[in-house]
């Protein structure tokens, strides 16, 4: 059973995010970074399946700058067997499509039975890459799963996903792609021996060239999405208490909603 | 167990990383546990790094270390509610070429990871996000540590406790007693962002020049303590540090004291318009020489703040002593390894190195300062107030003839100072700070 988990390094949840000076990106100075929490569910599920099946490898893959190696190391410490770090200066300014293209190229170098993604990355929140890769690789996928059972012969799986008012249960043939939701499992922590062994585990670094992708196929120039402007949420101003009895207050509220908030 | 290390270090602050770097360079196997998300992530200090030892650890450190400004100017201010008198010293000799005057403003969240990385590059294994809960013992000898993770028991020939002022492991080991309140100071500090040019204009600096400024008297409610501002490139480190007793006596909390400092008319203008990026609190071991515990036992050494190595007198110097003690501990272990003797006797060279260096010499020299300060509170409140009052009288412009003004000043001084007591107190001051 070969399993790949695509992980993204994202600013820690408690970070104070500010747009960069040009308003096109976030200011990363002083931020601390973690493995995208939804990707941790993918890694945990991969490790569980490997343990259950009793054989196979778990590979973690990430696109990102030098610092990304820390996130990959964390995954190795938690239990992944090997890591692939894709970095290339030409990737700067890439949009979701380019990220999916590059991941696809890396994933196609091996035969994976299962590929996990997070349901979304908590920084850019596109919720798109996993599904996009499924399309490019022409693989079946189930998005936002909260339970997964793999058949004893490794050929099939049953995936559960929460839908409004119920659960959808999907039988799927492997190889397949899944994007993970938080109820899927409880990710484990790295053990001390795990952390110590992580350094010796294989870490492959790919450039675009290694993946046979032309540098001009990705990057800002090729982005299908243009990012206009990142802006911080408007500062919340203090609320206003409306005076008077219920009738007067409601009248005042309706007037404010109409004239100030302009919601109707 | 193949996972046994030569040395396990708890804490990747300046002392732990200095030890790790030295040991790893000598080819010993070293593991460093750091509870923070990364070394330095939660660490704070006032803001001036003294670097003579750093230069030994990393020659030409200034070419790569994340330093802010080199200090060319020191300022000591005495404050009353509305006035300030200051002494400022600036020296062009401190502005010539690196390492300048071996003092640089710095931010720990940048400096600590850099030094830890140096140790890592030399071969040390740094394990962040991992708390050490206990020591492992065998036959009364320390043989390793127990980290809060699955499979967390790690053996080592020697354990170095570099876990800072709160070191509960040092207490557990029996080397150190709990610090009592009166030997600890509490500090609150903000990092306030201002444009580079504004900082340089306000503080009279050019390029990467920096200022270290300490403020006494009313700004810190007349307590035994000080307010400080250290200039970084695009931020100011602004804080207060006072003995815990002072906070209890004055019934004030550190944060309120910091606000008081920031709102003094003389300080307010220096930080105006700045955006507070971070707030942090921390303790400082200020008991000086007599608080230094036993620092060696079988298989165990104490370094840095865990051993109370802070020279609080004039200098608020801790990082330099931390790195020095880390270096000495490492050198001692390297020698001990040759004889394979890690007993208290085998490690006793550590104490000798400390005693022969500025670490214990300085702490010894200033051993009376802490006592002096606590017994001579007038130097922090009454005397500054009186001095500033007198200066105000002197500089106030009016039709009163100058001779009368001077007579009035003399009268005021006579009525408020008890000459004998003042002389005795000044003599104590001289003795505490200037005798050896
Ligand atoms: C015009 C434009 C320019 C951009 N420029 C940059 C830039 O210069 N630098 C930059 O960092 N970002 C840049 N981005 C953002 C970047 O394109 C997105 O992060 C990326 O498209 C993935 O979207 P997402 O993070 O919202 O992922 P989602 O679709 O929310 O992620 C879902 C899952 O996909 C996987 N995944 C996502 N990203 C990665 C990754 N990098 N490696 C491995 N797996 C991954 C994870 O499993 C994740 O849980 C830019 C975006 C646009 C539109
Ligand atoms: C407000 C203030 C101002 C100061 N100003 C200055 C100054 O201007 N100049 C100067 O030179 N010094 C200054 N000092 C003193 C200086 O900060 C310290 O002396 C110095 O940091 C001591 O270094 P250390 O490595 O011994 O301890 P620390 O820097 O405290 O490092 C201890 C490390 O151990 C880690 N740790 C603790 N317990 C555990 C555990 N159980 N398991 C794993 N890890 C653990 C901590 O996370 C930390 O990283 C100041 C101190 C304060 C509080």
At B323-351, the pLDDT tens digits run 999 999 999 999 999 999 999 999 999 99
Residues 6+ apart with CB under 8 A from B425: B376, B378, B379
Residues 6+ apart with CB under 8 A from B337: B6, B28, B157
Same domain, A9 and A131: yes
Q: Which domain holds residue A240?
A: 234-264
Residues 6+ apart with CB under 8 A from B402: none
First to last CA, chain A: 57
- Is some CB atom of chain A closer than 8 A to the CB atom of B152? yes
Residue pair B228/B239 in contact by the 8 Å Cβ criterion: yes
- If you measure from the C-alpha of residue A96 to the centroid of ligand 1, how many angstroms do you get, rounded to a whole number? 5
- If you measure from the C-alpha of residue A93 to the centroid of ligand 1, how many angstroms do you get, rounded to a whole number? 10
Protein residue whose Cα sits closest to atom 3 of ligand 2: B46
The C-alpha angle B59, B65, B66, rounded to 5 degrees, equals: 165
Q: Which two tokens stand for residue A234?
A: 């408007």
Ligand with the closest atom to the CA of A86: 1
Whether residue B318 has its Cβ less than 6 Å from ligand 2: yes
- Is some CB atom of chain A closer than 8 A to the CB atom of B137? no
Share of chain B above pLDDT 90, in %: 76
- Residues A207-233 have a mean pLDDT of 91
Identify the band that residue B160 occupies on the pLDDT scale cut at 50, 70 and 90: very high
Q: Say if A229 falls within a structural domain.
A: no
Q: Say if A211 falls within a structural domain.
A: yes
Instruction: Tell me the domains of chain B and their CATH numbers.
Output: 4-62+108-177+293-356 (3.50.50.60), 371-434 (no CATH)
Give the one of A30, A32, A196 whose C-beta lies nearest to B125's C-beta. A196
Q: Which two tokens stand for residue B204?
A: 């009279």
Same domain, A218 and A238: no
**pLDDT score at B1:** 41
Residue pair B365/B334 in contact by the 8 Å Cβ criterion: no
- If you measure from the C-alpha of residue A76 to the centroid of ligand 1, how many angstroms do you get, rounded to a whole number? 22
Ligand 1 atom with the smallest distance to the CA of A120 is: 30
| pLDDT tens digits, B57-110 | 999 999 999 999 999 999 999 999 999 999 999 999 999 999 999 999 999 999
Across chain B, mean pLDDT equals 93
Same domain, A131 and A247: no
Q: Give the mutation target among B33, B43, B186, B363 for probing the ligand 2 site: most ligand atoms within 8 A of CB.
A: B43
Chain length of chain B: 436
- If you measure from the C-alpha of residue B75 to the centroid of ligand 2, how many angstroms do you get, rounded to a whole number? 24
- Residues B371-386 have a mean pLDDT of 85
Protein residue whose Cα sits closest to atom 2 of ligand 2: B45
Same domain, A123 and A152: yes
Same domain, A258 and A156: no
Q: Say if A60 falls within a structural domain.
A: yes
Q: Say if A228 falls within a structural domain.
A: no
- Residues B132-148 have a mean pLDDT of 97
**pLDDT score at B330:** 98
Whether residue B117 has its Cβ less than 6 Å from ligand 2: no
How far apart CA B64 and CA A62 sit, in angstroms, is: 29
Residue pair B379/B432 in contact by the 8 Å Cβ criterion: no
Ligand 1 atom with the smallest distance to the CA of A122 is: 30
Whether residue A62 has its Cβ less than 6 Å from ligand 1: yes
Same domain, A238 and A212: no
Residue pair B10/B145 in contact by the 8 Å Cβ criterion: yes
- Report whether pLDDT(B2) > 60: no
Q: Say if A227 falls within a structural domain.
A: no
Whether residue B33 has its Cβ less than 6 Å from ligand 2: yes
- If you measure from the C-alpha of residue A11 to the centroid of ligand 1, how many angstroms do you get, rounded to a whole number? 13
CATH number for the domain harbouring residue A201: 3.40.50.620
**Alpha helix segments (H runs only) across A64-148:** 68-78, 96-107, 129-137
Same domain, A136 and A246: no
Identify the band that residue B315 occupies on the pLDDT scale cut at 50, 70 and 90: low
Same domain, A238 and A136: no
Whether residue B288 has its Cβ less than 6 Å from ligand 2: no
| pLDDT tens digits, A28-63 | 877 889 999 999 999 999 999 999 999 999 999 999
Ligand 2 atom with the smallest distance to the CA of B321 is: 19
Same domain, A181 and A65: yes
Residue pair B61/B104 in contact by the 8 Å Cβ criterion: no
| Complex-level ipTM | 0.76
| pLDDT tens digits, B389-402 | 999 999 999 999 99
Protein residue whose Cα sits closest to atom 41 of ligand 1: A63
Same domain, A162 and A240: no
Ligand with the closest atom to the CA of A125: 1
Number of domains into which chain A is organized: 2
Same domain, A154 and A250: no
Same domain, A133 and A167: yes
Whether residue B14 has its Cβ less than 6 Å from ligand 2: yes
8 Å CB contact of A192 and B37: no
Ligand 2 atom with the smallest distance to the CA of B147 is: 42
Give the one of B3, B41, B152 whose C-beta lies nearest to A32's C-beta. B41
Distances (CA, A) of A252 to A237, A238, A242, B338: 19, 17, 7, 85
């Amino acid at each position: 059973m070969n399993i790949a988990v695509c992980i993204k390094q994202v600013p820690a949840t408690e970070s104070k995010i500010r747009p960069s000076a040009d308003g096109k990106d976030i200011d990363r100075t002083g931020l601390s970074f973690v493995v995208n929490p939804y990707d941790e569910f993918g890694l945990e599920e991969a490790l569980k399946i490997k343990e259950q099946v009793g054989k196979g490898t778990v590979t973690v893959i990430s696109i990102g700058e030098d610092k990304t190696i820390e996130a990959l190391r964390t995954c190795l410490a938690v239990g992944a067997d090997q890591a692939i770090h894709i970095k290339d200066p030409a990737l700067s300014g890439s949009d979701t499509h380019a990220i999916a293209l590059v991941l696809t190229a890396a994933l196609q170098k091996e035969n994976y039975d299962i590929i996990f993604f997070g349901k979304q990355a908590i920084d850019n929140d596109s919720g798109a890459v996993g599904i996009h890769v499924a399309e490019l690789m022409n693989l079946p996928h189930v998005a936002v799963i909260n339970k997964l059972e793999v058949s004893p012969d490794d050929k099939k799986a049953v995936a559960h996903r929460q839908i409004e008012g119920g659960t959808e249960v999907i039988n799927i043939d492997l190889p397949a792609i899944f994007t993970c939701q938080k109820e899927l499992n409880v990710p484990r922590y790295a053990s001390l021996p795990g952390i110590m062994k992580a350094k010796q585990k294989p870490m492959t670094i790919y450039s675009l060239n290694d993946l046979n992708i032309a540098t001009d196929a990705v990057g800002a120039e090729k982005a299908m999405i243009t990012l206009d402007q990142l802006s911080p949420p408007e500062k919340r101003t203090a609320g206003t208490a409306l005076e008077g009895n219920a009738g007067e207050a409601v009248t005042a509220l309706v007037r404010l909603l109409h004239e100030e908030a302009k919601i109707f | 167990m193949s996972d046994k290390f030569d040395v396990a270090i708890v804490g990747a602050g300046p002392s732990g990383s200095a030890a790790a770097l030295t040991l790893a360079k000598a080819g010993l196997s070293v593991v460093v546990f750091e509870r923070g998300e990364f070394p330095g992530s939660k660490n704070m200090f006032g803001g001036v790094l003294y670097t003579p030892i750093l230069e030994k650890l990393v020659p030409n450190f200034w070419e790569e270390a994340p330093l802010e400004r080199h200090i060319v100017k020191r300022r000591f201010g005495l404050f009353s509610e509305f006035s300030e008198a200051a002494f400022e010293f600036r020296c062009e000799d401190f502005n010539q070429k690196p390492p300048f005057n071996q003092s640089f403003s710095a931010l720990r969240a940048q400096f600590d990871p850099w030094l830890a990385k140096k140790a890592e590059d030399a071969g040390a294994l740094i394990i962040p996000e991992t708390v050490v809960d206990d020591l492992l013992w065998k036959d009364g000898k320390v043989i390793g540590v127990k980290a809060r993770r699955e499979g967390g028991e790690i053996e080592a020939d020697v354990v170095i406790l570099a876990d800072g002022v709160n070191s509960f492991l040092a207490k557990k080991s029996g080397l150190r007693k709990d610090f009592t309140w009166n030997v600890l100071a509490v500090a609150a500090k903000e990092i306030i962002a201002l444009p580079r040019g504004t900082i340089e204009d306000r503080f009279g600096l050019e390029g990467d020049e920096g200022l270290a400024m300490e403020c006494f008297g009313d700004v810190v409610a007349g307590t035994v303590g000080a307010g400080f501002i250290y200039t970084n490139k695009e931020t100011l480190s602004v804080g207060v540090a006072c003995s815990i007793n002072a906070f209890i006596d004055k019934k004030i909390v550190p944060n309120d004291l910091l606000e008081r400092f920031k709102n003094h008319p003389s300080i307010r203008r220096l930080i105006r318009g700045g955006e507070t990026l971070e707030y942090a609190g921390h303790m400082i071991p200020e008991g000086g020489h007599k608080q230094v515990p036993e620092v060696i036992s079988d298989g165990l050494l104490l370094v840095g703040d865990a051993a109370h190595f802070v020279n609080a007198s004039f200098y608020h110097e801790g990082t330099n002593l931390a790195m020095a003690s880390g270096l000495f501990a490492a050198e001692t272990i390297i020698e001990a390894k040759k004889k394979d003797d890690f007993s208290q006797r085998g490690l006793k060279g550590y104490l000798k190195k400390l005693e022969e260096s500025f670490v214990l010499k300085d702490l010894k020299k200033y051993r009376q300062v802490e006592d002096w300060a606590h017994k001579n509170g007038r130097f922090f409140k009454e005397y500054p107030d009186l001095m500033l009052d007198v200066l105000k009288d002197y500089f106030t412009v009016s039709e009163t003839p100058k001779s009368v003004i001077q007579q009035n000043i003399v009268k005021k001084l006579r009525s408020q100072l008890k000459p004998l007591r003042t002389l005795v107190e000044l003599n104590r001051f001289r003795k505490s700070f200037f005798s050896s």
